[in-house]
Chains A and B, each alone.
Chain A
Amino acid sequence: MSLKEIEYEPLLPIEFTRPLQTIDICIASVEPKKTNDILKILSSKLSMVDMNIGHLKRIKKSEKHEKLLDVIINTSADVSKTEKDIKELFKNNNINEDAIKDFRLCQASKYPAYTKSQFNEWKNVWPMIFKDHDSQHNLKLSEEDLEKAKKWLNIALEKAEKDKSEVPNNQFNNCTIIVDPSTSKVLAIETDNRIKCNHPLKHSVMECIKTISELHTKKDNLDSENENEQSNKRRKLNTEIDSSQPYLCTNYDLYTIKEPCIMCCMALVHSRIGRVFYLKKNENDGGLESIHQIHIQPELNHHFQVYKIKVKQ
């Protein structure tokens, strides 16, 4: 079997599916007449974008104080310190400190809304700005990406076919490839080795992750051979991060025939994989569309983009 014309379907990323998560913001109430001056100072000293809350509106009508406006100061939980700092700041800018009062904590959405329904729900917590992300979010694959997907998946199919002839009783026949997209270099290509090794956990994804780790440790050893002994020792005692060194599978692309199982999907979360492309659904144990959606599980600390590749009908 060889793929000729293919199309793709992106599985929705976390931004489109996450439920409401809130953060504490520190707000205060101000006189509408003084708002312009206050906002000018606040936005120069405490920019919403720098505080990672560019998706929130800075100001809203106060519910607590009639005729006043509530304004976001910062995202610090230390209200009394914020109040002290702001009053000091106002003094230095010749604004009467009575123009602002009642510093308090309030809740707001932690993340920008990507869908209309997220927006309609989340803006009730604190007013938000809505941008139509469908066009902006990079869910679209370029022609080049699609060509590459076809190429790598064809190689995986070929390799799996070859493995089938070598291990004919392998009901788990599969092949996975991990590529560094910045260099288009194949870093790992592995078949499912459960039968061959009599080891129920040697799935092709796990085998690829292992191959990459061996590649990285080998590179590390080569690097340290070139250094003198003293710096070598220091390195061992205090393994400092070197950003030029690859960290696990960060930013790598993974191509596989069958939707990875739950174990493998979580292994990919632990490995910080970049993108995953696959051909066939894994009805019994799939961790991306079939049983769970691990790549968009809000509680987890890493999420990745997934593309299901289909043969054009």
Chain B
Amino acid sequence: MEDIIEKNNENKNESVNHQNEDKETIEKFMREALIQAEEAYDACEVPVGCVFVLDNEIIGKGRNRTNETKNGTRHAELEAIDMILKNHSPEVLKKCTLYVTVEPCIMCAAALRLMEIKKVYYGCSNERFGGCGSIYHLHNESYEIESGYLKEEAIMILRKFYIRENKNAPVPKKKSNRILKTEIM
């Protein structure tokens, strides 16, 4: 208990210094998130990675594990939150900053709101599922967001992945165009 109080006091002082992280710090942690994304890529998972930072220190990291776990909800953010909650109380998230390579999806954006995260930095936007600006604005009135850090790297690794195709997804519908072309010949 004393530990927690002591930590709280520390954080109060720290958080003043960290109100606005400088570009160098942001990119440093974003690189760490990219390392997680690369790990996901090597494991044939959609390459998204993240780190949660408390007082300039990484307290949790995660990457996509949806194929391995056969659970479509095991995104980087939820993996990292589970890791953090093994050693911390949920309140710790209120003082954390998240660095994630891709805009959180609607599920994760809502989860971050439930955890009352302080701030989110993300690389590229997520046009298909994004919950922090692309499809919904779930961060509004809850947490701050800033985007575009190491965006090119985040996009490149996704592109590299999608060229390889997701073998676990169900068979895509045949494109009618393709059948047609052969019919005419």
Query: Are B183 and A239 in touch, CB under 8 angstroms?
Result: no
Residues of A within 8 A of B176 (CB): 50-52, 75
1/0 contact string of A104-135 vs chain B (CB within 8 Å)? 00000000000000000000000000000000
The residue that B107 contacts in the complex, of A50, A239, A263, with Cβ under 8 A, is A263
Query: How many residues in B have their beta carbons less than 8 Å from beta carbons of A?
Result: 42
CB distance from A12 to the nearest CB of B (A): 19
Contact of A217 among B69, B85, B136 (CB under 8 A): B69
> B30 an interface residue at 8 Å Cβ cutoff?
no
Q: Which residues on A sit within 8 Å (CB–CB) of B111? A: 201, 263
- The answer to whether A282 has its CB under 8 Å from any CB of chain B is no
Q: Cβ of B169 and Cβ of A241 under 8 Å apart?
A: yes
Known pairs A213-B69, A300-B129; A86 contacts B170 (CB<8 A)? no
Quick one: given A76-B180, A239-B167, are A201 and B78 in contact (CB under 8 Å)? yes
- A262-276 near B? 1/0 per residue, CB < 8 Å: 111011011110000
- Using A51-B176, A75-B176, A243-B171 as known contacts, say yes or no to A201 and B81 having CB atoms under 8 A apart: yes
Q: Within B123-151, which residues are at the interface with A (CB < 8 Å)?
A: 128-129, 131, 135-136, 138
CA distance A250 to B171 in the complex (A): 13
Given A45-B183, A266-B110; A239-B67 close (CB under 8 Å):
yes
Number of interface residues of A (CB under 8 A): 50
Q: If A238-B167, A263-B114 touch, does A270 touch B73 (CB 8 Å cutoff)?
A: yes
Distance (whole angstroms) from the CB of B145 to the closest CB of chain A: 17
List residues 246-286 of chain A with CB under 8 A from any CB of chain B: 247-248, 250, 261-264, 266-267, 269-272, 285
- A72-106: which residues lie under 8 A (CB-CB) from chain B? 74-76, 81, 85-86, 88-89
Check if B72 sits within 8 Å of A241, measured CB to CB.
no
Known: A263-B107, A270-B72, A271-B73. A240 touches B167 (CB 8 A): yes
A206 interface residue per 8 A CB criterion? yes
Could you list 15 A-B pairs, sorted by A, with CB under 8 Å?
A85-B181, A85-B184, A198-B89, A199-B85, A200-B90, A201-B115, A239-B67, A239-B167, A263-B110, A267-B73, A267-B107, A269-B106, A270-B66, A299-B135, A301-B128
Nearest 6 Cβ contacts at the A-B interface = A213-B71, A266-B107, A270-B72, A263-B110, A266-B106, A85-B184
Chain A residues near B (Cβ < 8 Å): 45-46, 50-52, 74-76, 81, 85-86, 88-89, 198-201, 206, 209-210, 212-213, 216-217, 220, 238-241, 243, 247-248, 250, 261-264, 266-267, 269-272, 285, 292, 294, 297, 299-301
| Residues of B in contact with A (beta carbons under 8 Å apart) | 44, 66-67, 69-74, 78, 81-82, 85, 89-90, 105-108, 110-111, 114-115, 128-129, 131, 135-136, 138, 167-171, 176-177, 179-181, 183-185
